[in-house]
Amino acid sequence: MARYNPKEIEPKWRQRWDDEKAFLTSADRARPKYYVLEMFPYPSGRIHLGHVRNYAMGDVIARFKRARGFNVLHPMGWDAFGLPAENAAMQTGSHPRDWTYANIEAMRRELKQIGLAIDWSREFATCDVGYYRWQQKLFLDFWQAGLVERRESYVNWDPVDRTVLANEQVIDGKGWRSGATVERKKLSQWFLKITDKAEDLLAALDDGRLKGWPDNVRLMQRNWIGKSKGAVVRFRFADGTSARANSPSPHPEEQKAPSPFETLRPQGEGAFCVSKDAPDGFRDVEIYTTRPDTLFGASFIAVAPDHPLAQGFAKTDAKAAAFIAECQKTGTSQEAIDKAEKKGFRLPLNAEHPFIDGRALPVYIANFILMGYGTGAIFGCPAHDARDLDFARKYGLAVIPVVLPPGEDAASFAIGDEPYLGPGTLYNSEFLDGLSVDDAIDAAVRKIESMGAGRAATQFRLRDWGVSRQRYWGCPIPAIHCEKCGVVPVPEKDLPIILPEVPASAFRTPGNPLDRMPEWRNVPCPECRGHAERETDTFDTFVDSSWYFARFAAAREDRPLDRADADYWLPVDQYIGGVEHAILHLLYARFFIRGMKDTGHLSVEEPFANLFTQGMVTHATYRDDEGQWLLPEDVIVEAGKATRADTGEAVTIGPIEKMSKSKKNVVSPDEIVSKYGADAIRWFILSDSPPERDVEWTDAGCNGAWKLVARIWETVEPAKGALMKAHDLSRAPADADIELRRATHGAIAAVTEDIENFRFNKAIARIYEFLTAIRKAAGVSSLSLQGASPQEPRSLNRPPHPDPLPPKTGGEGEGTWALPEALSALVRLIAPFTPHLAEECWETLGGEGLVCNAPWPEADPALLQKETLILPVQVNGKRRGEISVAASAETRAIESAALSEAGVKRHIEGLTVRKIVVVPGRIVNIVAS
């Protein structure tokens, strides 16, 4: 028998699939649709094993759903704009476009080797004009719908490269490439108003619209959106407080003395007190709080260094300015924030407590207040907030508990080193006394509102999405800046705004080449025809990936989407990708779909009905004595010791980590394909670990997968033509046939369920078991395999089955001879995992057509039920034997069988049986003492 040779067989079948257009999506709307999609790759140059795992999973689902009769859409494309192309241009002098398209060519070739059931006719790259022109159109629509805003915001600015950096690109305050100290710079930026959709983005996480998403991703999005409910409260500034400006505020009790601001209580609506000390125009400060119930515990007010009030003081007060500058120097890294001490700068200003006449609250600029959240100002309640407590202890401010924990005594309860954050009863709080925290929050808000001092408010952590990038290699933002008319949208008839040609050398100069192209940049204003300039920013590449899945489903040359097609295919039924996209990409796409719905492009509410986040591919790391990383292919590992392949020197084996170029623990899929074939890779990468967990790539493991491929071929090959032969129906089935049929239908049921539930590792384990069952049966089955193992399989020495099922008659080997049926099922069960091997086997067996078009095997329920059960019997919870009973046996019969079992008898001798627990179909437990 010829050994299975994937090098010849695999390309042959890929050619057949191409020739027969096997995976072109049909327009057949009669069948239920199924859209399976893996996150599309960035064309970095090579396919890595992480891609292989991702696409292999999607491919299993796609092939499985096809076999089950779904109209499947399984497309592929390229997330092709982005920074690496410009870096490559800088380093190698090749144009970003050339570099990108060359990479796409190379990666497409590699991907095709994996044997994916993809409709390549729908392929596109986001840098194709045919794609990004419609993105420009969508942007204009969003603009018109009020979802676009242009405003100033702070960015990380690299003064050497003259570009904006993402937070991830700032390392220790320096630009990752230039090494220059990053500046905070205020720039006019384009924003998409994702916060307009915050409520709905949040609501959908919990109302069942995303029930097919993993809990952890939903949780991460919920935290990211970060909704909190509370109140905005206005604190008026008190007059005449500057005398004590720089001394810590005394304890409130000590402040009883004739209060200068007692008389300044508002006399009615509209009466304001104007502090002499506050900068012009500041009469009060609005704070945001989630705990209005603790207002009676307030002992200070603090504002962010960026707060207009602080900035106002800084203009005239050098010390204030110095303090603010100091705060801004503190890094934004987590470590810096952890270590940063709470610091405040006392402004010459007091605020009035809205509820307590005469309580003066000192006002500080504090380094721990963020301008970007709430109003950028807080009231401090040290007794019930950790940060406020730190601050109060440092500056000697009052700590007034107002929530009494259950079971504590009001007279003795005191705050120590920890604030009290839990539930309890309000006290020290006048009209709130005796209320629970929740009731007090409501009561306080009502009071504030009735006083006109504030209002209930909801806050989100989510910020609007800044989409401007000062980059060449991205989708141009279709806007024009006119001196007279301001910012004007590009008229739709002028789309697309095509990226202009630039020489590759342009990328050696820092900054955006588009800024240096007056011939492209200067245009007449679409409104006044006067002088105007194009926007030179391009879109964040996350915009490109926010709607590509819709374009796959419904591309048209003359519009972004065909609505009917989009509504048919969307949402994506199964989306698969890395958990690293749990927030940004998945949130942006959810927002984009909402915007597209608002602007009439489609009707769905959510882009991805089911989401699966797969684990990474890891590998051991290797270093030589000098600490240099070594590629796995340059290392020989034997008996746990590693040596260099070339010199034989010892190599240190490091921890198992995610494959990365920097640590060189990468294995090239290309090489493995040529060594073992695509099927073996696909099999191995899905076999060892559950899909959501990391999988360690090992050569031995892949070799094991290769052995399986060969073993399946050796099992199938001798049964050549088995699906075409007529069977002798007159012969009674052997017991082995019955057993094999049970194994077959058990395997069908189990594998089906496991694939359905994304448990590929278990499905594969079941296939191994099934294969073993076939190989054992093959030796004695009525249709015996030539060349199969000559030994008498041991499992067949079992006692005959008490009640064998009668053989069924009818089509395709079913019921007559167990082996052809088993082989037919086996080949179809492996087809999603090892599609090339399955085709070869299918053809050999004489199956009709291509196996990728064959229907999924159906399990016969009658064969899944057993007539005889083997029940373990426990005595006092310990297993002492097992009994064989008919499935229909009554409890009493089971009990007596259990009691007479030899091992059981031995263990209950001399004891009294107190109770017998019979769990039908499971176990018997005899309680004796």
Partner RNA sequence: GCGGGCGUGGCGGAACCGGUAGACGCAACGGACUUAAAAUCCGUUGAGGGCAACCUCGUGCGGGUUCAAGUCCCGCCGCCCGCACCA
Stretch that binds RNA, among 510-518, 622-630, 662-670, 920-928 (CB under 7 A): 920-928
Question: To the nearest whole angstrom, how small is the minimum distance from the Cβ of residue 301 to RNA?
Answer: 11
| Residue 834 binds RNA, judged by CB under 7 A | no
Q: How far is CA 198 from CA 59, 190, 202, in A?
A: 34, 18, 6
Of the pair 516, 906, the CB lying nearest RNA is at: 906
Of the pair 89, 841, the CB lying nearest RNA is at: 841
DSSP 8-state assignment for residue 378: E
Residues numbered 625 to 644 that lie near RNA (CB under 7 A) are: 639
Q: What is d(CA 402, CA 380) in angstroms, rounded to the nearest whole number? A: 13
Stretch that binds RNA, among 262-270, 447-455, 704-712, 733-741 (CB under 7 A): 704-712
Residues numbered 322 to 361 that lie near RNA (CB under 7 A) are: 330, 334, 337-338, 340, 342
Question: To the nearest whole angstrom, how small is the minimum distance from the Cβ of residue 335 to RNA?
Answer: 8
Nearest to 885 by CA among 873, 903, 902, 875: 873
Give the residue, chosen from 239, 293, 385, 464, that forms a contact with RNA under the rule CB under 7 A: 385
Give the residue, chosen from 312, 690, 718, 846, that forms a contact with RNA under the rule CB under 7 A: 690
DSSP 873-914: EEETTEEEEEEEEETT--HHHHHHHHHT-HHHHHHHTTS-EE
DSSP 72-139: EE----B---SHHHHHHHHHH---HHHHHHHHHHHHHHHHHHT-----GGG--BTTSHHHHHHHHHHH
Cβ atoms of residues 232 and 454 within 8 Å: yes
With residue 152 as reference, give the H or E element that holds it: strand 148-158
Q: Which residues pair with 279 in a beta bridge?
A: none
End-to-end CA distance of the chain: 64
Query: Binding marks (x or -) toward RNA, 221..240, rule CB under 7 A?
Result: --xx-x-x-x----------
Q: What is d(CA 700, CA 846) in angstroms, rounded to the nearest whole number? A: 34
Of the pair 220, 504, the CB lying nearest RNA is at: 220
DSSP 8-state assignment for residue 525: -
Of the pair 15, 223, the CB lying nearest RNA is at: 223
Give the residue, chosen from 583, 653, 897, 913, that forms a contact with RNA under the rule CB under 7 A: 583
| Residue 905 binds RNA, judged by CB under 7 A | no
Question: To the nearest whole angstrom, how small is the minimum distance from the Cβ of residue 916 to RNA?
Answer: 9
Phi/psi at 523 (5° precision):
-140, 155
Distance of CA 816 to the CA centre of its chain: 49
Residues numbered 278 to 297 that lie near RNA (CB under 7 A) are: 288-291
| Residue 761 binds RNA, judged by CB under 7 A | yes
Give the residue, chosen from 180, 517, 710, 899, that forms a contact with RNA under the rule CB under 7 A: 710
Question: To the nearest whole angstrom, how small is the minimum distance from the Cβ of residue 306 to RNA?
Answer: 10
Question: To the nearest whole angstrom, how small is the minimum distance from the Cβ of residue 895 to RNA?
Answer: 13
Token duo for residue 465: 């999405």
Q: What is d(CA 723, CA 808) in angstroms, rounded to the nearest whole number? A: 16
Q: What is d(CA 194, CA 583) in angstroms, rounded to the nearest whole number? A: 13
| Residue 865 binds RNA, judged by CB under 7 A | no
Task: Kindly state the number of chain residues that form the binding site for RNA, as judged by CB under 7 A.
Answer: 86
Q: How far is CA 730 from CA 584, 612, 726, 733, 806, in A?
A: 66, 50, 12, 9, 12
Residues numbered 835 to 864 that lie near RNA (CB under 7 A) are: none
Nearest to 236 by CA among 256, 268, 261: 261
Residues numbered 712 to 741 that lie near RNA (CB under 7 A) are: none
Give the residue, chosen from 27, 726, 732, 870, that forms a contact with RNA under the rule CB under 7 A: 870
| Residue 775 binds RNA, judged by CB under 7 A | yes
Question: To the nearest whole angstrom, how small is the minimum distance from the Cβ of residue 21 to RNA?
Answer: 35
Give the residue, chosen from 296, 300, 368, 549, that forms a contact with RNA under the rule CB under 7 A: 368
Question: To the nearest whole angstrom, how small is the minimum distance from the Cβ of residue 897 to RNA?
Answer: 15
CB atoms within 10 A of CB 429: 23
| Residue 762 binds RNA, judged by CB under 7 A | yes
Q: Which residues pair with 229 in a beta bridge?
A: 458
Residue 467's contacts (CB-CB under 8 Å, 6 or more residues apart) are 189, 190, 191, 192, 477, 539, 540, 542, 543
Residues numbered 779 to 808 that lie near RNA (CB under 7 A) are: 789, 791, 794
Residues numbered 873 to 902 that lie near RNA (CB under 7 A) are: 874, 876-880, 882
Question: To the nearest whole angstrom, how small is the minimum distance from the Cβ of residue 372 to RNA?
Answer: 7
Q: What is d(CA 692, CA 578) in angstroms, rounded to the nearest whole number? A: 9
| Residue 425 binds RNA, judged by CB under 7 A | no
Of the pair 261, 676, the CB lying nearest RNA is at: 676
Of the pair 108, 387, the CB lying nearest RNA is at: 387
| Residue 919 binds RNA, judged by CB under 7 A | yes
Q: What is d(CA 785, CA 713) in angstroms, rounded to the nearest whole number? A: 13
Q: What number of residues does the chain have?
A: 929
Nearest to 753 by CA among 663, 848, 674, 859: 859
Helices then strands, counting H and E runs in the chain, come out as 27, 35
| Residue 833 binds RNA, judged by CB under 7 A | no
Give the residue, chosen from 623, 711, 720, 808, that forms a contact with RNA under the rule CB under 7 A: 711
With residue 454 as reference, give the H or E element that holds it: strand 454-459
Cβ atoms of residues 715 and 775 within 8 Å: yes
Question: To the nearest whole angstrom, how small is the minimum distance from the Cβ of residue 347 to RNA?
Answer: 17
Question: To the nearest whole angstrom, how small is the minimum distance from the Cβ of residue 445 to RNA?
Answer: 12
Of the pair 307, 836, the CB lying nearest RNA is at: 307
Stretch that binds RNA, among 103-111, 182-190, 422-430, 683-691 (CB under 7 A): 683-691
| Residue 153 binds RNA, judged by CB under 7 A | no
Stretch that binds RNA, among 169-177, 187-195, 569-577, 903-911 (CB under 7 A): 903-911
CB atoms within 10 A of CB 626: 5
Query: Binding marks (x or -) toward RNA, 111..150, rule CB under 7 A?
Result: ----------------------------------------
Give the residue, chosen from 163, 459, 468, 545, that forms a contact with RNA under the rule CB under 7 A: 459
Residues numbered 185 to 224 that lie near RNA (CB under 7 A) are: 215-216, 219-220, 223-224
